[in-house]
Amino acid sequence: MTVNGEFNHDMRRVPTGEFMTPSRKTNGVGVQAEDTKICVVMVGLPARGKSLIAQKVVRYLHWLSIKAKTFNVGQYRRTNTPNPSADFFDTSNSEGERLRRAAAEAAVNDMCKWFAEGQGLIAILDATNSTKKRRRWIQERCDAEGIETLFVESKCDDEDIIMSNILEVKTTSPDYVGQDPESAAQDFRNRIRNYERVYQTIDEDEFDLTYVKLIDVGKHVIINQIQDYLQSRVVYYLMNLHIRPRSIWLSRHGESQYNLNGKIGGDAELSERGEMYARALPGLVKQSVGDSRKLTVWTSTLRRTIATARFLEFEKLEWKALDELDSGVCDGLTYAEIEERYPDDFKQRDEDKYNYRYLGGESYRDVVIRLEPIIMELERSENILIVTHQAILRCIYAYFMNVPQERSPWMEVPLHTLIKLTPKAYSTQEERLKADIPAVSTFREKGSSAKHQEAA
């Protein structure tokens, strides 16, 4: 953690504020934000994962400080028709058609208003948008408002996947509250049949549109007319998604000599208790993972994570991007020493921990940017165990659990604890397994004294 090159004090703070608002600045991920407005238009039959994709894209963009919002036409439709039966979606049902059209218009109107008020950069219009006519209408509406469109079609004809999607999320949808799951599933299949009668996949007639077609959950991907950096970023993210069941395990390294002394950063060895955690970790992992599952272990390039993972009998990979937040000139100091030597900085960090950049070091915002390839790789992968550091773990955890920036740097992540995250359809499940090995607490609460405290 050396301090190289020149820097000046003003460079340490990046623009504050929760999210990037449109201006000729970059938010550190290279986004040319001025005037950018993109409507991601979902396309596909029901139960093709459109809402799940929309929700994941929004979470990913928020994590990158790009303000995004989903406009779900189903939610607008529920205001006039909360519990429709399959007949409602039959195109020969003129009242149904009228109400569905009204819902789509209300969503598009609200989306245009949202853009016009400068509230964000990317909107996701989540609906089936299953006919060429409907897509053309959206395209023209967006063109008139200076909004770029990116159509994202999810096409999947695998009956087993569709059936399991229906059972996983549709029978518990608000459309079917109080109904028995079997009749809900049957009705939903009839709903799909009604859509199938009119559904038009995106084809050569629509070559002028910007689109990505994800076929069979991304096994095959077709991309057309991608215009700019932000669009290609979203497309790349979509190409990496999969829905195979898996979990991600997160652990901090075992207690280090620096942790014992209350010092931050560095490349210290494990303490005696940290060493005990390293020896206990294979058992803890076995307890949580079971015998059959294969996993890959990722560590940082620092000694304390490598030593912690060394008894795990799995393939291992070291990532520089997983190294702890660089605390620059404060590396090797205790919080109390930082408060004494750099009182203004100490205060500034408390005021805005996410954006505060250590002199010659990094901020949490910087860390998120360098972790982006890790997130992308995690999305592509199956079972991964990451042994890393407090700040890094907070950022990865924040991505999966959708933790806002003002909270993520302040989350308590105890040592000697294995966290298991399991992505589900619309959320991520969490379990924690604590090793029975004491460790100091390295957590310092906002506004608290900088005094180092031994854990109970």
Tell me the catalytic residues: 126, 253, 324
Minimum gap (Å) between residue 368 Cβ and ligand F6P: 13
Beta strands in 179-284 (DSSP E): 211-215, 220-224, 248-252
Rounded (to 5) percent helix, strand, coil in the chain: 45, 15, 40
Minimum gap (Å) between residue 8 Cβ and ligand F6P: 22
Distance CA 409, CA 411 (A): 6
Interaction mask 240-259, ligand ATP, x per CB under 6 A = ---x----------------
- CB-closest chain residue to ligand ATP: 49
Return the residues of window 431-450 that contact ligand F6P according to CB under 6 A.
442
Out of 388, 409, 435, 437, point to the residue binding ligand F6P (CB under 6 A).
409
Structure tokens at 74: 């189903």
Out of 324, 339, 352, 362, point to the residue binding ligand F6P (CB under 6 A).
324
- Establish if 74 lies at the interface with ligand ATP (CB under 6 A): yes
Contacts of 181 (CB under 8 A, 6+ apart): 167, 171, 172
- Establish if 171 lies at the interface with ligand ATP (CB under 6 A): no
Q: Which residue has the tokens 């004809």?
A: 157
Q: Which residue has the tokens 């005037």?
A: 35
- Establish if 371 lies at the interface with ligand F6P (CB under 6 A): no
DSSP string, 388-452: E-HHHHHHHHHHHHT--TTTGGG----SSEEEEEEE-SSSEEEEEEE-S---------TT-----
Structure tokens at 443: 């957590």
Distance CA 40, CA 235 (A): 10
Return the residues of window 254-273 that contact ligand F6P according to CB under 6 A.
259, 264-265
Which CB atom, from 227 or from 427, has the smaller least distance to ligand ATP?
Answer: 427
Out of 168, 228, 267, 379, point to the residue binding ligand ATP (CB under 6 A).
168
In sign, the C-alpha dihedral spanning 370, 226, 117, 402 is negative
Out of 1, 31, 43, 52, point to the residue binding ligand ATP (CB under 6 A).
52
- Establish if 49 lies at the interface with ligand ATP (CB under 6 A): yes
Q: Which does 391 bind (CB under 5 to 8 A by kind): ligand F6P, ligand ATP, none?
A: ligand F6P
Out of 50, 273, 304, 357, point to the residue binding ligand ATP (CB under 6 A).
50
- Establish if 376 lies at the interface with ligand ATP (CB under 6 A): no
Q: Which residues bind ligand F6P (CB under 6 A)?
A: 259, 264-265, 324-325, 327, 389-391, 409, 442
